[in-house]
Chain A
Amino acid sequence: MMDLAPYLLLAGLEGLVMASVLMLTALGLSLVFGVMRVVNVAHGEFYMLGAVGAWACAQFVPGHPALAFCVALVVAPLLVGVLAYLADWAILKRINYDPEGTIVSTIGMLYIIQQLTLMSFGPDARAVDAPFYYTIRTPWFGYSSYKLFTVVMALVLVAGLWVMLKRSKWGLVMRATQFDRETAQNFGIPVNRVYSIVFAIGAMLAAIGGVLVVPNQQAHYLMGGDPLLLSFVVVIVGGLGSIPGTIAAAILIGMSDGLLSVFFSPTAAKIFSTLLVAFVLVFKPEGLFGRSNRV
């Protein structure tokens, strides 16, 4: 068996990769809830569509896999964003973002997307080539450099999102809508359009997560379940709608999952994160990093 230090290194790397993808998907979920108060149960399916989109790009773009990957990184999230925009317009807007109604209708969207994928893409898991292959060798084990690349990508994207929310006019509009929908509307903010766009951005973040992960995991029509569950865990632990809280919780859950699943078992890791949710809900329902008295 390995010594403790390399063991810890491997567990840390695994946790880091997990945390970074989780950060993207959970941020999407958190953003949608924060601004729209919509619990999007179909979030994991947008992640899956991102992965399937990456596979489709790999089929249609000839040449080096890196080219197809770059195309996928742009095209797949865009298509998923358009789909989410349309879903918001066709369904969520019609039921007036009624909380129970949105839960039930996003469950419906989950099944529709999943089954349509099954009917078109099929039941198999399909591999997508990574843009590059290089295995980093340590004296004890090898590690895929692509996995580390996903960490960098996720950090860049999250930083970009952060700047967009804090510095841009669009970010201001979103934050205003999140803070008080009616006042925002009174100030002339097109709240309905903000909603559609936020829903699309949330879905796109999940889709990017899917594109990044697919060279490691293969695309499969049922792959949306795990990220949905973990994203919920992260969002609840971090505080619903709180972006810094979501980032912190993603790192906490991702790293603990990596460490626990390497040192004990992946099942133990799941038990831990689910227990954490239970405790947070009982003792600090606004989340570890959330503010309690929001309007």
Chain B
Amino acid sequence: MRVMNKGQNRRSVLAGLAGTGLLMASPGIIGRARAQSGDAIRLGAPFHRTGIGASYGRWYERTANAALEVINAGGGINGMPVEMIVEDDGTDPKRGVELIEKFSAEHKVDAVFGHLFSHVAAATAPRAGELKMPYFLCSEAHTLAAGGFNRYCFQPSISDVKSQVSSMAPWISENLGKKITLIYPDYAFGYDHRDNMTAAIKAQGGEVVADIAIPPTETTFTRYMPRIPFNTEVIYHVMVGPAVMTFVKELGEHLGSNRPEIFGFIDSLEAVDIGIPQLEYLEGTHFWEGHARYAQADQTEFDKFYREKVGVDENGASVDDARDISTYAHMFSVWETLFAMKQAMEMADYKGPDQKVAFLEAMEAIEGFEASNEFPQGEKLFNGKTHQSFAHQNISKVTDGKLEVVYRTSIEETLYEDETDYTQMSF
């Protein structure tokens, strides 16, 4: 009996020791201990390190690191250094919600930023509101500007799908054709494209002759292609997920040389090298780009500065590995969002969560941003009521295997009537 007890005691002591060790080593505990010191601004960064958004996540993280280096080298925000706590959300809505809870309860961050995929953002935004956690989207979801989220959510850099689509539809119908076949991913982001493009092209006197929804986890696409009607004048495609390159390749195989006009969102080829033989058929087709992947002839000094800091060459690839293509058309939103947050925090003389409301009200008071090193994509209008930014959109043409901007929309073209007013909502 005594021996057994002794053994059990020793075991429980050992277990206790191991448990204490684990507890001490767990990042949550350390985060909490550090959070109490109040000498730095902490930002939660739930990036898509794995899952279908992985290539975006990798570049979002690199861009955020580069921006924070610039911010901290310039003295941080209000004299405090800015720290970023990165977690992988697996491009998974459920994990997105868990993480915003973790950032709030354990890391006690000042704000959260960096979500891109709309299904993750749509799940996370309501929880951010409940937790009263400032939540900055680097996404194109229209849900925010449509009034679907809450006063804690902002999209200060990248324009939403509605303004992208409605600003480009006139150009598409005038230059490419009026009979459109839509190919889009079968979830929220894709529906934004379907609904807004259908409405916008109708307003131009055109029509959508077919719309083809494809699950974002799909790996083979040939079977969807027969649904493209022969009278299609323009194929409008926007695909996401790991198999985007297969999609574009199979589209080319299916169509052959007598293809209709093609207008794609660069999403279908983000992080993919377009200079490969199977994609030669894209020569002469058009793409939307939020920010031009290839350094253009009229490149601004701001774009040059930003490229250099993030480590991207003039072809949009990593300076360390020419095969590592960036998600250039989207990732500027991380950089600009961080500088927008900095601006609002400085306006509110933000020192910590006590001034949270002042920080958010300052954000709402901002009317726009000038093109600068901080905003390398260009000037934008910011609507404090809808919490949404409006910026120039680029239409690029594949010329000699590179994307060349042929039309840049005005900001006026991207505007539409307000659909909500978050300032009427209480904090």
Contact = CB atoms under 8 A, between A and B. Distances in A.
Interface stretch (A25-33, A123-131, A229-237): A123-131
Of the candidates A6, A124, A261, the one having the most CB atoms from chain B within 10 angstroms of its own CB is A124
Nearest to B220: A217
Interface string B214-239: 01001110110111011000000000
Contacts of B54: 122-124
B227 A137 contact: no
Contacts of A197: none
A125 B245 contact: yes
Given A258-B223, A262-B226, A137 B245 contact: no
Contacts of B49: 123
A122 B58 CA distance: 10
B277 interface: yes
Interface stretch (B248-256, B331-339, B386-394): B248-256
Given A124-B55, A141-B254, A142-B254, A10 B245 contact: no
Interface string A7-42: 100110010000000000000000000000000000
A135 interface: yes
A266 interface: yes
A144 B254 CA distance: 9
A236 B225 CA distance: 31
Contact of A137 (B58, B225, B256, B271): B256
B300 interface: no
Contacts of B229: 1
B353 interface: no
A22 to B, nearest CB: 13
Given A124-B54, A142-B253, A142-B255, A218 B225 contact: no
A14 B223 contact: yes
A57 B246 CA distance: 20
Contacts of B271: 124
A10 B49 CA distance: 37
Given A123-B49, A217-B243, A141 B226 contact: yes
A58 interface: no
B368 interface: no
A124 B218 CA distance: 15
A218 B248 CA distance: 13
B186 to A, nearest CB: 9
A14 B219 CA distance: 13
Given A125-B242, A141-B225, A261-B223, A118 B50 contact: yes
- The A interface, classified by DSSP as helix, strand, loop or mixed, is mixed
B50 A11 contact: no
Interface residues of B, number: 30
Contacts, number: 78
A220 interface: yes
A10 B242 contact: no
What band does the interface of chain A fall in when counting residues whose beta carbon is under 8 Å from B?
20 to 34
Contacts of A217: 219-220, 243, 246
B204 interface: no
A170 interface: no
A90 interface: no
Given A124-B271, A135-B256, A144-B253, A218 B227 contact: no
A226 B219 contact: yes
B51 interface: yes
A251 interface: no
Contact of B223 (A11, A124, A222): A11
Interface string B240-278: 001101100010011110000000000000010000011
Interface string A213-232: 00011101011001000000
Contacts of A267: 215
Contacts of A261: 223
Contacts of A2: 226, 230
A135 B253 contact: yes
Nearest to A261: B223
A69 to B, nearest CB: 15
A218 B253 contact: no
A144 B225 CA distance: 13
22 contacts: A1-B230, A10-B222, A14-B223, A122-B54, A123-B49, A124-B54, A125-B243, A133-B278, A137-B256, A141-B256, A142-B254, A142-B255, A143-B222, A144-B253, A217-B220, A218-B246, A220-B219, A222-B242, A226-B219, A258-B223, A266-B218, A266-B223
7 A-B pairs closest in CB distance = A125-B242, A123-B54, A123-B50, A142-B256, A261-B223, A262-B223, A217-B219
Interface of B: 49-51, 54-55, 57-58, 215, 218-220, 222-223, 225-227, 229-230, 242-243, 245-246, 250, 253-256, 271, 277-278
Interface of A: 1-2, 6-7, 10-11, 14, 118, 122-125, 127, 133, 135, 137, 141-144, 216-218, 220, 222-223, 226, 258, 261-262, 266-267
